[in-house]
């Protein structure tokens, strides 16, 4: 099978390239790729390929300006459309899109299923919704097998985003849990996402992928601290956290912490992956048993 991978220099993209070694892989990206192209502004020339894995995308920042908000749509929506236009010259057999649980637009919930409404209001979540719609319609039109993987927090070596910030905070001694750190959050090992591609790509469908246990902040931070040989993270009691949140409410945009952010930190947010387990035998490893921190 020949595979075209976008976003191969990203966190998940690097894992895909590493754990799909038995295939003929071509990468496309702005740098360090077989095909150099900025999909947000270019329609590249592509050769025939069996499977396209579209992992490129903009994430991991909170936009502060209109230009930063627009960048999500330029990369995640226009970039997707340009890729699909390029593929029309030589249609693949299958197209797999790396999406996100952010499309649901939820800050709390237990075992949310794939048929939940897509209510994201933030630029990242909305851009992912639009990309999913474009891909689904395009695949139906051209009779291409369509797979969409909605991923929660990705775990692996040198992770970006919130998990990377947690590791850095624990290393330097300034990370702390809030209200016991008992909120459960879905996550998944990047290696397991890579290893399921071969099965799911030729089946098609939309799937949440999680590791099934949904660790809480306390469990995850203690796991990281123990591996790093650091003290277990300090806990800020709920009453102190609420006091700080109230102050943040008064300060408004000047404050990075408020009651809304506190409610998100304290709320469980987990996703149901039973569809993947039933459809293609999804059986991932547990994060607290597998995640090695360097």
Domain ranges of the chain: 2-159+186-210+272-284
Taking a C-beta distance cutoff of 8 angstroms, is the pair 155, 287 a contact?
yes
pLDDT at 6 (0 to 100): 97
Q: Which of 59-63, 250-254, 266-270 has the highest mean pLDDT?
A: 266-270
* pLDDT for residue 192 is more than 90: yes
**pLDDT bracket for residue 172 (50, 70, 90):** very high
* pLDDT for residue 21 is more than 80: no
**pLDDT bracket for residue 135 (50, 70, 90):** very high
Report yes or no on whether pTM surpasses 0.85. yes
Distance between CA atoms of residues 38 and 29, nearest Å: 6
Q: What percent of the chain has pLDDT over 90?
A: 85
* pLDDT for residue 62 is more than 80: no
Nearest in space to 60 (alpha carbons), one of 48, 52, 68: 68
CA torsion, points 148, 154, 155, 156, in degrees to nearest 10?
70
Nearest in space to 60 (alpha carbons), one of 157, 160, 128: 160
Q: Tell me what the mean pLDDT of segment 127-133 comes to.
A: 98
The CATH homologous superfamily to which domain 2-159+186-210+272-284 belongs is: NAD(P)-binding Rossmann-like Domain (3.40.50.720)
* pLDDT for residue 117 is more than 90: yes
Q: Tell me what the mean pLDDT of segment 234-253 comes to.
A: 90
Taking a C-beta distance cutoff of 8 angstroms, is the pair 98, 57 a contact?
yes
Distance between CA atoms of residues 87 and 64, nearest Å: 34
Q: Tell me what the mean pLDDT of segment 69-88 comes to.
A: 96
pLDDT at 261 (0 to 100): 83
Looking at every residue in the chain, the average pLDDT score rounds to 94
In the block, residue with structure tokens 């300034």: 174
Strands (E), 133-179: 145-151, 153-155, 176-178
* pLDDT for residue 123 is more than 80: yes
Nearest in space to 104 (alpha carbons), one of 291, 280, 269: 269
């Amino acid at each position: 099978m020949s595979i075209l991978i976008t976003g191969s220099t990203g966190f998940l993209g690097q894992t895909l390239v590493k754990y799909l070694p038995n295939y003929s892989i071509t990468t496309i990206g702005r740098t360090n790729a077989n095909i150099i192209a900025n999909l947000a502004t270019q329609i590249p020339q592509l050769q025939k390929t069996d499977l396209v894995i579209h992992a490129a995308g903009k994430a991991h920042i909170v936009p502060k300006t209109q230009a930063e908000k627009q960048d999500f749509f330029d990369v995640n929506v226009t970039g997707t459309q340009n890729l699909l236009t390029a593929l029309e010259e030589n249609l693949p057999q299958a197209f797999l899109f790396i999406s996100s649980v952010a499309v649901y637009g939820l800050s709390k919930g237990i075992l949310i299923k794939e048929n939940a409404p897509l209510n994201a209001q933030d630029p990242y979540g909305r851009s992912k919704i639009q990309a999913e719609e474009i891909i689904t319609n395009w695949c139906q039109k051209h009779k291409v097998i369509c797979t969409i993987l909605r991923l929660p927090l990705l775990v692996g070596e040198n992770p970006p985003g919130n998990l990377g910030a947690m590791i850095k905070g624990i290393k330097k001694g300034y990370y702390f849990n809030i209200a016991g750190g008992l909120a459960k959050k879905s996550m998944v090992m990047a290696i397991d996402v890579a290893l399921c591609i071969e099965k799911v790509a030729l089946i098609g469908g939309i799937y949440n992928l999680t590791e099934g246990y949904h660790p809480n902040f306390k469990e995850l931070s203690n796991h990281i601290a123990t591996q790093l040989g650091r003290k277990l993270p300090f806990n800020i009691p709920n009453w102190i956290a609420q006091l700080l949140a109230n102050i943040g409410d008064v300060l408004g945009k000047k404050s990075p912490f408020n009651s809304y952010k506190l409610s998100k930190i304290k709320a469980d947010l987990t996703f149901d992956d039973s569809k993947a387990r039933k459809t293609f035998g999804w059986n991932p490893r547990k994060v607290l048993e597998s995640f090695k921190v360097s």
